[in-house]
Amino acid sequence: MRAELVFTGSELLMGYVQNTNAQFLSEELARLGIEVTLHATVGDQWDAMVRVIGEALERSDLVITTGGLGPTTDDITKDAIAHLLRVPMVADQASLAEIRAFFRDKRGREMPTVCERQAMFPAGAVILPNYKGTAPGALIEKDGKVIIILPGPPTEVRSMFRRSVLPYLAGMPGRGDVVRTRVLKLTGIAEYGVQELIKDLGGQGNPGLGYLTVPGEVQIRVTAKHADAATAESMVEDLVSKVLEAVGDYVFGFDDEVLEKSVARMLIDTNLTISAAESCTAGMVAGRLTNIPGSSRYFLGGIVVYSNEMKTSILGVPGETINSHGAVSAETAVAMAKGVRAIIGSDLGLAISGIAGPGGATAEKPLGLVHIALATPRETICRYFRLPGERVGVRVGAVNTALNLVKRYLEGTER
């Protein structure tokens, strides 16, 4: 089963907005075993739109469009499709009532007349409700082809796809090999280093490995394609196991896992509180730990010590420790962790001191050197890392590494 995606909207051709629907829909269709053979982005001009959608319909079993469902005269996607299918446009009374209700309840006014267009559809369409906006979508089966009409805004596309389109497509016969994917997130190592360590595990084959670097993080994407979903899944899992054997120490999460959410759940489960003393990350660890609603249950506070004086005056790090070992040292990190734990009165005290650059690096203490200490009721753990990247990469990498140290301590894998 072959599909083409048609994105409509002159704002895409002008570069005003990023087309995030392309990746989302492509990934979802690959999971379903539907091969996407082309993406096309076309403006709000009648001739071009009719040509592009028409050619897609000729070549493919499934065509999905996004955009052009608004109330203005620029919004012509449904009209173009009705024209291609040789069916009239008809009003859907239920949609009309819903759009009227939206304006009355949410905007305190009558529906503008132009908005009637949003309730007009090619005859024979199944209407797809829009729970995140005003423009409903539609699904049309005709002459053995399926065309699915989605709105433009990404939140509306995601919601409508998951609620209405996914169940429909999952029930269609004739789909091909499904794709299964697992993403491993690593920190403390550069992409080139990861590739060196796992190069014998294969490249872009099936199963295959792909890489993506974002600041402070390298992602390994493990994918497999097979007619049978369970087989594709076990192909992925087998390769993931091998990857973990080689680079597992650097892995801090899988897929959409949010590291601070995992840490938060474990802290709440174990009824432990935490505080943070930060130098090079300067509040970023505290900011991440409090991203989670209800974070006051486990996070008590933090101290950002950007000067050596503050490390001594507020955290009680002995001036002697800083003088003999330096601000970026295991000794200072341990004293910071113990200090913040004592001052704030938390069960755990996390401390980070490192060289984020561009200044401050020396031959012995290079850019990316970070000491991380975790003071616990029984002992103080301290580790050092050499993080890759420039200032942003080192800082975000240090936050990921520090949160991962807490996670591993709570799991019992780091002591």
Site for a copy of itself in 380-399 (CB under 8 A): 391-392, 395
Answer yes or no whether residue 11 interacts with a copy of itself by CB under 8 A: yes
Q: Which of 39, 242, 261, 265 binds a copy of itself (CB under 8 A)?
A: 39
Q: Where are the beta strands (DSSP E) in 97-216?
A: 120-122, 126-128, 137-142, 145-150, 178-186, 208-214
Answer yes or no whether residue 305 interacts with a copy of itself by CB under 8 A: yes
Answer yes or no whether residue 108 interacts with a copy of itself by CB under 8 A: no
Query: For residues 187-216, which are near a copy of itself according to CB under 8 A?
Result: 204, 210, 212
Answer yes or no whether residue 352 interacts with a copy of itself by CB under 8 A: no
Cβ 302 to a copy of itself, closest distance in Å?
4
Q: Of the two residues 125 and 402, which places its CB atom closer to a copy of itself in the complex?
A: 402
Peptide bond into 122 cis (omega under 30): no
Amino acid making up residue 411:
E
Q: Of the two residues 138 and 288, which places its CB atom closer to a copy of itself in the complex?
A: 288
Give the rounded distance of the alpha carbon of 411 from its chain centre.
Answer: 24
CB 179 within 8 A of CB 224: yes
Cβ 19 to a copy of itself, closest distance in Å?
6
Answer yes or no whether residue 115 interacts with a copy of itself by CB under 8 A: no
Query: For residues 311-350, which are near a copy of itself according to CB under 8 A?
Result: 314, 343-344
Give the total of residues touching a copy of itself (CB under 8 A): 73
Give the rounded distance of the alpha carbon of 152 from its chain centre.
Answer: 20
Which region, left, alpha or beta, applies to residue 141 given φ > 0 means left and ψ of -120 to 50 means alpha? beta
Which H or E run includes 373? strand 369-375
Q: Tell me whether residue 65 is exposed, middle or buried, using C-beta atoms within 10 angstroms of its C-beta: 0 to 12, 13 to 18, 19 or more.
A: buried
Query: For residues 276-295, which are near a copy of itself according to CB under 8 A?
Result: 276, 278, 281-287, 289-291, 293-295
Token pair belonging to 196:
């060196």
Amino acid making up residue 150:
L
Q: Report the DSSP pairing between strands 62-66 and 2-8.
A: parallel
Q: Which of 66, 77, 223, 321 binds a copy of itself (CB under 8 A)?
A: 223
Q: Which of 120, 169, 300, 352 binds a copy of itself (CB under 8 A)?
A: 300
Q: Interface with a copy of itself by CB under 8 A: which range of 41-49, 94-102, 161-169, 371-379? A: 41-49
